[in-house]
Amino acid sequence: MAKRMHTLAVTAALLGGVALTAGAAETLRIGWAQTDITPSEPVYLSGQFNARVSEGVMDPITATALAFESAREDEPTSMVLVSCDLICIQGDLRDAVRAHLRRDVPDLDPMAVLISGTHTHSGPLATTHQRHHPVPKPVGNIYGVDLGAMAPADYAAFAAERIAKAVTEAWKGRAPGGIAFGLGQAVVGRNRLTAYRDGRSQMYGPVNHPDFSHIEGFEDPSLYVLATYTQDGQLTGLVLNLACPSQVSETSMKVSADFWHETRVELRRRYGEGLFVLPQNAPAGDQSPHLHGNECRSPGRAAGRENPEVRMWRLAGRTQREEIAVRIADAVAKIRPLIEQEIDWDPILAHRVETVELPRRKIPESDAEQARAEAVKYRKVYEKLMADREANPDLLHDGRWIVKTTVAYRRMRWNERVAERF
């Protein structure tokens, strides 16, 4: 691929809903699998500018695979959906999974395996690609200092092998089944940008400010649900597509799947421990699960009283993550009886891939000049902090020093890369 071009893989899975009738063909085969991808040692947690080294595990992180195979004579097709409790799936992790599959499952097209992340900010950093230099150690290339945690490349190798095994298990375990789908509503995300009368917008900005104008953008409570069933109509799994990243606990120092952990627990409490749950983070724009300026809309809040939404969590005996889980599970419960009227045993399953070449943005010289100046500023900060550590090695264990140093390094490299691209 040309250096100035990116490749975009465009995929589409089309599942048509048709009411089951006597004697209908049963051409769909379905397989599920789940695997634990929780690290057994400290890792770098992704999702913040500064480095965070995990201090344990709040709850397990998983990879869930759902295999589809259609035996329709007109269009035989197969594909596997995979969801991981990670911030995103970078190309090198995806390619490592596909390399395992080419060796272990030769009858499955690796390009038909679509892997996504739930965008948890408490999952391990998983990358083998070294974009940042010149610090020689793999983790130093990302944060500018080695904090003694598992290298992201090592975690990526660990996760890739386990994800591939889940895909293999789902593919080999496929059996005749059916699907049903529908649309529910679960309020999870809020637009996090507050707009003010002077034209600026602020992430999580207060709305009780005298210059408050409006919440900048759209909020989407849609919950798209795809359910799978055995031949005798037993529910086996749910694909849940929600326009909100899982980042309630985004500043935590522990590995966590965030609210999808509580959601799995709640759904399995209702529908059985064997239920598979595959979450998908739909395009969410600036939606976030956090309370922000919206929490100030209540007059009681201005008087220093308890936030009304937090109060309702307390009265219900739930955390915010548990409340989100209940909202999602309630939405599923509401639509499940409806969609089960139209379980489809003979859907049209299609998977298409196109490569679209897109030109990279051309950086103007003014941006490059500004980036160079910012890079010089942050380099001075970074080098001063590293010099302080040379004089006082104990700073390597000082959380404030770690935050300042890793932020300075990453902002330095951020701006240097802008100039390099120019």
Q: Which domain-ending residue is among 329, 357, 385?
A: 357
138 preceded by a cis bond (ω within 30 of 0): no
- Dihedral (Cα; 69, 19, 269, 116), 10-degree rounding: 40
Q: Which domain-ending residue is among 340, 357, 374?
A: 357
Helices (H) and strands (E) in the chain, counts: 9, 15
CA distance 89 to 79: 18
The pLDDT score that the predictor gives to residue 24 is 52
Same domain, 271 and 369: no
CB 224 within 8 A of CB 282: yes
Q: Name 214's Cβ contacts closer than 8 Å, sequence gap at least 6.
A: 195
**Left (φ > 0), alpha (ψ -120 to 50) or beta: where does 285 sit?**
left
The parent domain of residue 377 ranges over 365-421
Q: What is the DSSP string of 338-368?
A: HHGGG-BSS----B--EEEEEEPPPPPHHHH
Bridge partners of 1, per DSSP, are none
Domain count, the chain: 2
CB 183 within 8 A of CB 224: yes
What is the distance, to the nearest Å, from the Cα of residue 331 to the centroid of all Cα atoms in its chain? 21
Question: For the chain, what's the residue count?
Answer: 422
406 CB-side CA count, 13 A: 25
CA distance 334 to 236: 18
Same domain, 403 and 299: no
CA distance 265 to 318: 13
Task: Tell the burial category of 286 from Cβ atoms under 10 Å away from its Cβ (0-12, 13-18, 19+).
Answer: middle
Same domain, 353 and 260: yes
Same domain, 344 and 371: no
CA distance 412 to 373: 10
Same domain, 122 and 158: yes
Same domain, 245 and 190: yes
Other beta carbons within 10 Å of 174: 18
CA distance 401 to 417: 24
Same domain, 291 and 321: yes
Same domain, 291 and 187: yes
Helix (H, G, I), strand (E, B) or coil at 373: helix
Q: Which domain-ending residue is among 326, 357, 388?
A: 357
Q: Longest Cα pair distance anywhere in the chain, in angstroms?
A: 80
Same domain, 369 and 230: no
Q: What's the pTM?
A: 0.87
Q: What is the pLDDT along the chain (422 residues), one digit of tens a residue?
A: 333 222 222 233 333 333 333 335 678 999 999 999 999 999 999 988 899 999 999 999 999 999 999 987 777 789 999 999 999 999 889 999 999 999 999 999 999 999 999 999 999 998 765 444 444 444 556 888 888 899 888 999 999 999 999 999 999 999 999 999 999 999 999 999 999 999 999 998 888 889 999 998 889 999 999 999 999 999 999 999 999 999 999 989 999 999 999 999 999 999 999 999 999 999 888 999 998 654 444 444 445 678 888 999 999 999 999 999 999 999 999 999 999 999 999 988 888 888 999 998 899 999 999 999 999 999 999 999 999 999 999 998 899 999 999 999 999 999 999 999 99
Query: Tokens standing for 257?
Result: 């799947």
Same domain, 231 and 376: no
For β-strands 354-359 and 5-10, DSSP reports them as antiparallel
Other beta carbons within 10 Å of 74: 6
CB 194 within 8 A of CB 216: yes
Q: What is the DSSP string of 101-122?
A: HHHH-TTS-GGGEEEEE---TT
Same domain, 83 and 149: yes
Q: Name 260's Cβ contacts closer than 8 Å, sequence gap at least 6.
A: 85, 118, 120, 246, 277, 279
Same domain, 315 and 389: no
The pLDDT score that the predictor gives to residue 409 is 94
Bridge partners of 66, per DSSP, are 32, 81
